[in-house]
């Protein structure tokens, strides 16, 4: 459960705010409320009073009230003023807003008199002010100091020849000009500090006497308004709110207690100019054209999936003001690596379904992110995070899905799930505090379209059946359901990682639920009507736009044959549940052979013949099987009942198999003749069992040998692959139970075996030479011995196979003998029962 600060709806007008200082003749700036790094300066006129410091020393600071009533001079509040008749500078009591008492310091050090310039409208922004039309502070005489050593002050026009007496600065509480040793002071000493007194330029007595500054020479500048006259303006994120921060530029600069990350961006830049070594920039470019592959292997061991990411490009830039990441993956493919699967792909980029469709050349996945530094350790600020993907095809096979759920520990106790990190479940001290929250100016995740398919499995192991019962929902078989997804878009979210992830998942779950009608229209038991509709509409569109008659015929043929195959296959599967296990296993083998070889028509004929023969012999075979499994009269009656039912259902199921496979053959013909293309497996399933029991490195020859072994035995768990050697006209396949000599060919089955020797019958394997040729001699055991010790059999039980080289023959002999010894070692191993606490030795 989390809490959200309420934020108003987004404004409809452009996100700009115009700023000016009212009544101060300031400049005008426009702030973009969406730009967090836009740092601007706002200038405003801030005139100064030139005050006699001593006449303000009797006032209580901040109140303006006199501290002691007997100190009239210290409370007089005298500032420099100008007599309108003589233009001489005199002391007058401070009157707020009186223009004749206001001055401004120019960039060249001149003190321009505001009262002598043209009045400015305070409600309008001011342009650049120049000193050409203004009078500035100067001395009355032509010479710097006259005989009486004091020179009155007055206003004059700017003159570069008089720069020494027209350039002023406030130093150590005194007002000095360009002439050394002369300061502004009241004429007549301390008694000259009165209203209307004349102000002159005279010698600095504090320098002559090396003492404190006399009261009559103490002059400072007092600002008319608070601040320095320059404001720093920037937009900062404050949770889900964009705040406009206005600070005095010089005040922040002088406040050394602020940390570096709290300063405006311009201040950071100024500090980097002064200390260039403190600025660190980092740029990382990574290009992996071949990409990376990720293999997921469970504890059986068997490879579940292989994810291939190719054409990876990473561009990361780290600056003091931002971190930028650009990631693109050109192609993404996840293969189903289960041995014997009919659906070898789990996820891939959807290929073109129409030759007139525009080819998308962009990457499969693209990520763009910009992160700003944050002064809070509990807040991460992102300007934007954009994740864009192309259209994907997702094929979920029930068996693989259940194995993945088991791998990731679904519905298992915590003790049953493998812990790879011993500190994984330890709580850190930070978990009890405030969670880290993430702010995004823009967050967008776009997956435009998914073509979803789900394939159910007829036979599942007992552990997967138990896991399936805990899911709470059944899987329905459907194919190519086109689901269009709206992108996940959020503007200015400010939440925890868990909340944002849950929000993303909830959005796409709702998108999937909104497409339930499309999924229902793609199920197999209805004949996939949505697929038929899409094929017909695609063909009609091609005919209308491009006049493609062949495309229309091809698409209609594909849609109709696909619907017929789905409907007939569903009926056939339903009837198959009433058959005995042996007949159903043979049907599954025929259909698997058709799915892997593409020979659907041949498989349909075999299925029809198998169904007819099974129906004719159903009464006998089912009755015998019932007596064997159940025994007695009950087994006889049960088997006879199943046989009578099978007499009808098996031929009907065979006819439906023939119809389904024939329709699939027509569908594949329409598919292959058109632009529809299928993805190719990146690599064959990995051989996960090595001779030493360790996980070996991937080998393409071992993967091919494992696939050949599965075609021969239909089981790689009980009989696993060890080695394979390809020789000129044949190959030798060595498993954990036997050695097979196979004739070379494109497709391997039991008919390709010309020599098979099981290790129970093998005595040893030798290298033999005869007439200059090298052979591998496989010596079998004798049929029976009186002593019980195995001995070599007769000569006709010593078959020899020609090998092209002696080196290869020695290697092959060693591998066969090693596999034989490994087999006998496994026979002597103590095997675990279902309950690990109860171990029994076979007597």
pLDDT at 698 exceeding the cut of 70: yes
Which two tokens mark 759? 């290790």
Instruction: Check residues 450 and 792 and name the one with the higher pLDDT.
Output: 450
Task: Classify each residue of 172-195 as buried b or exposed e, where b means 16 or more C-beta atoms within 10 Å of its C-beta.
Answer: eebbbbeeeebbbbbeeeeebbee
Alpha-carbon gap, residue 711 to 725, rounded angstroms: 17
Q: What mean pLDDT is predicted for residues 393-422?
A: 76
Left if phi > 0, otherwise alpha if psi is -120 to 50, otherwise beta: which for 392? beta
- Position 174 confidence tier, pLDDT thresholds 50, 70, 90: very high
Alpha-carbon gap, residue 347 to 336, rounded angstroms: 9
Q: What are phi and psi of 738, to 5 degrees?
A: -160, 170
pLDDT at 125 exceeding the cut of 80: no
Q: What mean pLDDT is predicted for residues 16-32?
A: 80
Instruction: Report the interhelical angle of 549-576 vs 529-546 (nearest 10°).
Output: 170
Instruction: Report the interhelical angle of 398-407 vs 462-469 (nearest 10°).
Output: 80
Is CATH 3.10.180.10 the right assignment for the domain spanning 48-223?
no
Which two tokens mark 263? 């300063």
Q: What are phi and psi of 85, to 5 degrees?
A: -85, -50
- Highest average pLDDT, of 212-221, 514-523, 629-638, comes from 212-221
Lowest mean pLDDT among 395-404, 440-449, 595-604, 647-656: 595-604
pLDDT at 468 exceeding the cut of 90: no
- Highest average pLDDT, of 336-340, 565-569, 827-831, comes from 336-340
Alpha-carbon gap, residue 151 to 187, rounded angstroms: 10
pLDDT at 842 exceeding the cut of 70: no
Let me know: does 685 contact 337? Beta carbons within 8 Å: yes
pLDDT at 730 exceeding the cut of 50: yes
Under DSSP, is residue 62 helix (H, G, I), strand (E, B) or coil? coil
pLDDT in tens, 700-718: 999 998 888 888 887 656 7
Q: What mean pLDDT is predicted for residues 505-510?
A: 92
The per-residue pLDDT for 782 is 74
- Highest average pLDDT, of 169-173, 485-489, 751-755, comes from 485-489
The per-residue pLDDT for 264 is 42
Question: Which residues in the chain are classed under CATH 2.30.29.30?
Answer: 700-827
Q: What is the mean pLDDT of the chain?
A: 79
Q: What mean pLDDT is predicted for residues 100-129?
A: 77
Q: Residue by residue, what is the 3-state secondary structure of 719-766?
A: CCEEEEEECCCEEEEEECCEEEEEECCCCCCHHHEEEEEECCCEEEEE
Is CATH 2.30.29.30 the right assignment for the domain spanning 700-827?
yes
The per-residue pLDDT for 841 is 37
Alpha-carbon gap, residue 354 to 538, rounded angstroms: 8
Under DSSP, is residue 771 helix (H, G, I), strand (E, B) or coil? coil
Lowest mean pLDDT among 347-351, 414-418, 490-494, 514-518: 414-418
Under DSSP, is residue 652 helix (H, G, I), strand (E, B) or coil? helix
- Highest average pLDDT, of 251-260, 407-416, 466-475, 742-751, comes from 466-475
Global pTM reads 0.61
Query: Over pLDDT 70: what percentage of the chain?
Result: 72
Question: Which residues in the chain are classed under CATH 2.80.10.50?
Answer: 48-223
Lowest mean pLDDT among 13-17, 344-348, 570-574, 634-638: 570-574
Instruction: Check residues 109 and 618 and name the one with the higher pLDDT.
Output: 109
Instruction: Check residues 2 and 136 and name the one with the higher pLDDT.
Output: 136
The per-residue pLDDT for 265 is 44
The per-residue pLDDT for 772 is 86
Alpha-carbon gap, residue 726 to 321, rounded angstroms: 61
- Position 597 confidence tier, pLDDT thresholds 50, 70, 90: low
Instruction: Check residues 205 and 336 and name the one with the higher pLDDT.
Output: 336
The per-residue pLDDT for 675 is 40
Q: How far is CA 478 from CA 455, 595, 665, in A?
A: 7, 17, 19
- Highest average pLDDT, of 306-320, 591-605, 641-655, comes from 306-320
Q: What mean pLDDT is predicted for residues 747-766?
A: 87
Task: Classify each residue of 35-58 as buried b or exposed e, where b means 16 or more C-beta atoms within 10 Å of its C-beta.
Answer: ebeebbebbbbbbbbbbbbbbbeb
Under DSSP, is residue 371 helix (H, G, I), strand (E, B) or coil? strand
Q: What mean pLDDT is predicted for residues 82-111?
A: 89
- Position 739 confidence tier, pLDDT thresholds 50, 70, 90: very high
**Cα 720 from chain centroid?**
39
Query: Over pLDDT 90: what percentage of the chain?
Result: 27
Which two tokens mark 719? 């009989």
Closest CA to 708 of 678, 728, 683, 685: 685
Q: Residue 32 belongs to what H/E stretch?
A: strand 29-32
């Amino acid at each position: 459960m989390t809490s959200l600060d309420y934020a108003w709806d987004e404004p409809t007008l452009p996100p700009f705010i115009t700023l000016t200082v009212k009544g101060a003749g300031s400049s005008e700036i426009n702030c973009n409320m969406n730009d967090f790094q836009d740092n601007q300066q706002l200038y405003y006129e801030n005139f100064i009073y030139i005050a006699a410091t001593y006449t303000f020393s009797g006032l209580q600071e901040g109140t303006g009230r006199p501290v002691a009533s007997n100190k009239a001079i210290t409370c007089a509040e005298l500032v420099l003023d100008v007599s309108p008749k003589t233009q001489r500078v005199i002391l007058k009591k401070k009157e707020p807003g009186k223009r004749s008492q206001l001055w401004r310091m120019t960039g060249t050090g001149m003190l321009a008199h505001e009262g002598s310039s043209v009045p400015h409208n305070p409600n309008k922004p001011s342009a650049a002010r120049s000193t050409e039309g203004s009078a500035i502070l100067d001395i009355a005489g032509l010479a710097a100091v006259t005989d009486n050593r004091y020179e009155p002050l007055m206003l004059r026009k700017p003159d570069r020849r008089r720069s020494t007496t027209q350039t002023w600065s406030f130093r150590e509480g005194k007002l000095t000009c360009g002439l050394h040793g002369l300061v502004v002071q009241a004429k007549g000493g301390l008694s000259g500090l009165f209203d209307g007194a004349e102000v002159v330029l005279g010698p600095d007595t504090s320098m002559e006497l090396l003492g404190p500054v006399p009261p009559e020479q103490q002059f400072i500048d007092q600002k008319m308004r608070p601040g320095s006259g320059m404001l720093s303006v920037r937009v900062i994120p404050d949770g889900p709110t964009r705040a406009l921060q206005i600070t005095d530029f010089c005040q922040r600069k002088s406040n050394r207690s602020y940390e570096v990350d709290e300063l405006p961006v311009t201040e950071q830049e100024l500090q980097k100019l002064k200390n260039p070594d403190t600025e660190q920039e980092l740029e990382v470019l990574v290009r992996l054209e071949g990409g990376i592959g990720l293999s997921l292997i469970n504890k059986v061991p068997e490879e579940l999936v292989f994810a291939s990411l190719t054409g990876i490009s990473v561009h990361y830039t780290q600056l003091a003001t931002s971190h930028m990441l650009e990631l693109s993956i050109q192609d993404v493919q996840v293969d189903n690596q289960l041995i014997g699967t009919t659906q070898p792909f789990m996820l891939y980029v959807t290929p073109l379904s129409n030759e007139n469709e525009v080819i998308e050349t962009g990457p499969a996945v693209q990520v763009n992110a910009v992160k700003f530094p944050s002064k809070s350790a509990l807040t991460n600020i992102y300007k934007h995070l954009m994740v864009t993907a192309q259209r994907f095809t997702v094929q979920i096979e029930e068996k693989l899905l259940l194995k993945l759920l088991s791998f990731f520990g679904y519905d298992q106790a915590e003790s049953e799930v493998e812990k790879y990190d011993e500190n994984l479940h330890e709580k850190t001290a930070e978990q009890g505090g405030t969670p880290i929250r993430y702010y995004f100016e823009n967050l967008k995740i776009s997956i435009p379209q998914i073509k979803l398919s789900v394939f159910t499995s007829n036979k599942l192991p007992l552990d997967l059946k138990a896991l399936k019962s805990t899911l709470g929902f059944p899987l329905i078989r459907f194919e190519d359901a086109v689901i269009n997804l709206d992108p996940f878009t959020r503007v200015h979210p400010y939440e925890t990682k868990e909340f944002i992830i849950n929000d993303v998942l909830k959005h796409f779950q709702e998108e999937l639920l909104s497409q339930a009608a499309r999924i229902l229209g793609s199920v197999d038991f209805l004949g996939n009507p949505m697929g038929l509709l899409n094929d017909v509409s695609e063909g009609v569109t091609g005919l209308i736009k491009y006049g493609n008659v062949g495309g229309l015929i091809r698409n209609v043929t594909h849609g109709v044959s696909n619907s017929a195959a789905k409907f007939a296959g569903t009926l056939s599967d339903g009837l198959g549940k009433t058959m005995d296990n042996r007949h159903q296993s043979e049907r599954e083998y025929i259909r698997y052979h058709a799915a892997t070889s593409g020979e659907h028509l041949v498989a349909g004929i075999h299925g029809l013949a198998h169904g007819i023969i099974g129906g004719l012999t159903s009464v006998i075979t089912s009755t015998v099987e019932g007596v064997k499994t159940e025994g007695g009269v009950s087994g006889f009656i049960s088997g006879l009942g199943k046989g009578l039912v099978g007499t009808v259902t098996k031929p009907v199921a065979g006819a439906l198999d023939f119809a389904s496979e024939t329709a699939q053959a027509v569908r594949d013909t329409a598919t292959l003749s058109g632009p529809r293309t299928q993805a190719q497996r990146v690599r064959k399933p990995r051989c996960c069992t090595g001779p030493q029991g360790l996980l070996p490195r991937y080998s393409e020859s071992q993967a091919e040998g494992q696939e050949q072994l599965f075609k021969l035995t239909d089981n790689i768990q009980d009989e696993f692959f060890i080695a394979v050697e390809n020789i000129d006209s044949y190959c030798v396949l060595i498993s954990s139970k036997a050695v097979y000599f196979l004739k070379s060919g494109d497709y391997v089955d039991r008919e390709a075996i010309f020599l098979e020797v099981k290790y129970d019958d093998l005595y040893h394997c030798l290298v033999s030479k005869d007439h200059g040729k090298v052979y591998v001699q496989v010596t079998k055991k004798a049929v029976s011995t009186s002593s019980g010790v195995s001995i070599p059999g007769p000569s006709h039980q010593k078959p020899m196979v020609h090998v092209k080289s002696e080196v290869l023959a020695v290697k092959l002999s060693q591998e066969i003998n090693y596999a034989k010894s490994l087999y006998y070692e496994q026979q002597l191993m103590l095997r675990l029962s279902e309950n690990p606490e109860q171990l029994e030795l076979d007597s």
